[in-house]
């Protein structure tokens, strides 16, 4: 039997997506497809576990049962993919799948809650009972031929089965993001952007890596890979969206990254951060990365769910966020405006960063120049010498928004006070775009990533691309970080020869006059 390739997995996922496409929005049906892939992965892996135990203990059931307790996970008979497949015509197949998933959660601590956001018995999602059974039966049939036993996965140099399956999973998350359009930005960061952010933060063995808005964990995983061995870094994240949180847990597990369920937390990172130290303070990390929600409106609502100002009793009084409402003192440098949460997330991240930490965050350009409270916060952060680089990215790069974004890089204990500006949104000296322009979605390719990272490490001025700005220069610009103030990408327009243009106009007029005279003669001959 030929081994399962990455393309085989992707083809099955595309086939399964076709079962739902046209009837359910991609932002929703991704949950059914990816959850079923995860279930098939668990079942096939467990099947191989049991076969290995049978061979090792030569059928001794006592020893086999004892050894099962040391397996990474266990599945009951009614929690197996094959059991569900055999019952695929049952009118209650949706209930049976839900029961199986609940059993998996209850029986395995590491998988606790991973399926809480998916309901295979939902008529609102899957249609009336007949339609629902048809879709679920077809979904099971789509996955049945796919073998995900680790020994049957074709791997390349330096790969293992978890890498192959995990990358196929992540690939499909990206494809679903492309289909979901505007709804996708909350759960996926384009892979090359993730790779760039991993390079910029340079995680090492022994580091802790944190993403406060982790989505499907794709950014966390690609950042962790920069350290080499995934087993040598500690991964943490928090996500507010339940569906994205579930994807993150499955994504990490499939990649062979085993974390404590509490390490990937579910909830509002700003109002209720879940990662605390033994003293109840914010836990601090070596590396922080984030593609956070752009300009999140009403970001502070969670600090006072009753809506009373300063926790008072006057419910008719409009709630106003103040620094003293945050027990972690994240907003002592300033409280961001209620309608724009960008600096709220950045301040949370900066206060969660260790003394030698590195941090990279994707933000909208407004973060660079908006005034009032944001301007004062930005000035404080710069004066405390925390900002290391500003990297402008092309427009239409991220799912869910076409606006251009940038990456802010922060470091603690910096040796210099300058700030590096890079503009990767335009053209190089030869007039070539610094990104791949595509009809639907612009992309950064490996050569573009290499150019950006080289400019970051070299830290020298490059015409039309990079500039190292001193603190004095930034002060002179009133702490406005708008990239064109520092990197000149202005293209001079070609001079127009007025006399030549006028000559062309006169020539065209003469040609028109000749044509009109000919037409008049033809009409006269026709008697018109």
Q: Convert the pLDDT of each residue in 230-242 to its tens digit.
A: 888 999 999 998 8
pLDDT score for 105: 95
What is residue 278's predicted lDDT score, i.e. its pLDDT? 95
User: What's the pLDDT at 1?
Assistant: 63
Rounded-to-integer distance, Cα 285 and Cα 419, Å: 23
**Strand ranges (DSSP E) for 5-149?**
none
> SS3 of 364, please?
strand
Residue-level pLDDT at 495: 61
CA distance 74 to 210: 29
CA distances from 353 to 242, 325, 430 (A): 26, 21, 40
Helices (H) and strands (E) in the chain, counts: 17, 9
The order of strands in the sheet holding 264-266 is 264-266, 234-239, 208-211, 285-291, 353-364, 405-411, 387-392, 419-423, 466-469
For strand 353-364 and strand 405-411, is the pairing parallel, antiparallel, or unpaired?
Answer: antiparallel
The pLDDT confidence band at residue 183, using thresholds 50, 70 and 90, is very low
Q: How confident is the model at residue 528 (pLDDT cuts 50, 70, 90)?
A: low
> Can you tell me the distance from the alpha carbon of 308 to that of 310, in angstroms, rounded to the nearest whole number?
6
Q: Which of 101-110, 174-183, 485-494, 516-525 has the lowest mean pLDDT?
A: 174-183
Q: How far apart are CA 404 and CA 368, in angstroms?
A: 12
Among 443, 385, 427, 376, CA closest to 196: 443
DSSP 494: P
Of 16-20, 34-38, 326-330, 350-354, the least confident: 16-20
SS3 state of residue 330 = coil
- What share of the chain in percent tops pLDDT 90? 63
| Dihedral angle, C-alpha 204, 208, 210, 215, nearest 10 ° | 80
Residue 478 has a pLDDT of 96
Residue 333 CA, distance from chain mean position: 28
Arithmetic mean of pLDDT, 282-291: 97
The pLDDT > 70 percentage for the chain reads 93
Mean pLDDT value across residues 193-210: 95
| pLDDT higher than threshold 50 for residue 31 | yes
- Which is more confidently placed, 45 or 174? 45
Of 399 and 122, the one with more pLDDT: 122
Across residues 446-455, what is the average pLDDT? 95
pLDDT of 184 reads 44
pLDDT beyond 70 at 307? no
pLDDT at 513: 81
Q: What is the pLDDT of residue 517?
A: 80
Look at 510 and 122; give whichever has higher pLDDT: 122
Using alpha carbons, list the distances in angstroms from residue 424 to 251, 261, 343, 433, 448: 30, 38, 23, 9, 8
| Backbone angles phi and psi of 106, in degrees to 5 | -70, -30
Per-residue confidence (pLDDT) for residue 526, from 0 to 100: 75
Residues 6+ apart with CB under 8 A from 177: 184, 187, 188, 399
Mean pLDDT on 288-302 = 93
Structure confidence by residue, pLDDT tens digits, 86-136: 999 999 999 999 999 999 999 999 999 999 889 999 988 888 999 999 999
Lowest mean pLDDT among 59-63, 169-173, 349-353, 524-528: 524-528
How confident is residue 494, by pLDDT bands cut at 50, 70 and 90?
Answer: low
For the chain, the average pLDDT equals 89
User: What is the structure's pLDDT at 172?
Assistant: 82
CA distance 403 to 323: 31
Predicted model pTM: 0.87
């Amino acid at each position: 039997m030929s081994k399962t390739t990455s393309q085989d997995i992707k083809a099955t996922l595309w086939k399964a997506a076709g079962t739902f496409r046209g009837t359910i929005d991609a932002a929703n049906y991704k949950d059914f497809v990816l959850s079923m892939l995860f279930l098939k992965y668990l079942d096939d892996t467990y099947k191989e576990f049991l076969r290995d135990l049978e061979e090792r203990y030569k059928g001794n059931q006592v020893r086999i049962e004892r050894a099962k307790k040391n397996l990474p996970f266990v599945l009951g008979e009614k929690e197996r993919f094959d059991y569900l497949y055999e019952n695929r015509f049952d009118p209650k197949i949706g209930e049976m799948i839900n029961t199986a998933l609940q059993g998996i959660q209850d029986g395995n601590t590491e998988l606790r809650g991973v399926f809480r956001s998916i309901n295979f018995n939902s008529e609102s999602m899957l249609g009336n009972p007949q339609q629902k059974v048809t879709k679920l039966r077809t979904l099971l049939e789509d996955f049945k031929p796919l073998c995900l036993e680790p020994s049957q996965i074709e791997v390349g140099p330096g790969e293992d089965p978890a890498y192959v399956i995990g990358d196929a999973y992540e690939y499909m998350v990206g494809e679903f993001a492309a289909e979901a359009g505007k709804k996708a930005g909350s759960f996926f960061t384009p892979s090359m952007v993730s790779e760039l952010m991993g390079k910029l933060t340079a995680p090492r063995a022994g580091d802790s890596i944190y993403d406060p808005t982790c989505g499907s964990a794709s950014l966390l995983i690609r950042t962790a890979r920069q350290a080499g061995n995934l087993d040598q870094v500690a991964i943490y994240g928090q996500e507010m969206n339940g569906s994205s949180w579930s994807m993150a847990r499955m994504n990490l597990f499939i990649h062979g990254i085993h974390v404590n369920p509490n390490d990937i937390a579910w909830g509002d990172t700003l109002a209720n951060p879940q990662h605390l130290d033994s003293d109840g303070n914010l836990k601090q990390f070596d590396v922080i990365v984030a593609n956070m929600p752009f300009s999140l409106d009403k970001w502070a609502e969670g600090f006072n769910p009753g809506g009373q100002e300063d926790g008072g009793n006057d419910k008719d009084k409009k709630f106003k966020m103040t620094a003293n409402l945050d027990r972690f003192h994240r907003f002592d440098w300033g409280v961001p405006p209620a309608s724009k949460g960008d600096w709220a997330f950045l301040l949370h991240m900066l206060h969660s960063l260790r003394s030698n930490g590195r941090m990279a965050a994707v933000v909208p350009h407004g973060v660079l120049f908006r005034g009032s409270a944001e301007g004062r916060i930005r000035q404080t952060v710069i004066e405390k010498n925390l900002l290391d680089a500003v990297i402008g990215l092309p427009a239409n790069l991220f799912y869910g928004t076409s606006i251009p974004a940038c990456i802010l890089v922060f470091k603690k204990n910096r040796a210099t006070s300058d700030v590096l500006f890079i503009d990767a949104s335009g053209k190089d000296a030869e007039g070539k775009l610094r990104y791949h322009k595509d009809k639907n979605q612009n992309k950064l390719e490996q050569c573009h990533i290499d150019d950006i990272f080289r400019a970051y490490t070299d830290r020298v001025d490059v015409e039309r691309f990079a500039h190292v700005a001193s603190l004095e220069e930034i002060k002179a610009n009133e702490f406005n970080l708008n990239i064109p103030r520092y990197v000149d990408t202005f293209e001079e327009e070609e001079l127009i020869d007025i006399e030549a243009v006028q000559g062309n106009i006169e020539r065209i007029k003469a040609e028109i006059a000749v044509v009109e005279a000919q037409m008049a003669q033809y009409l006269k001959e026709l008697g018109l």
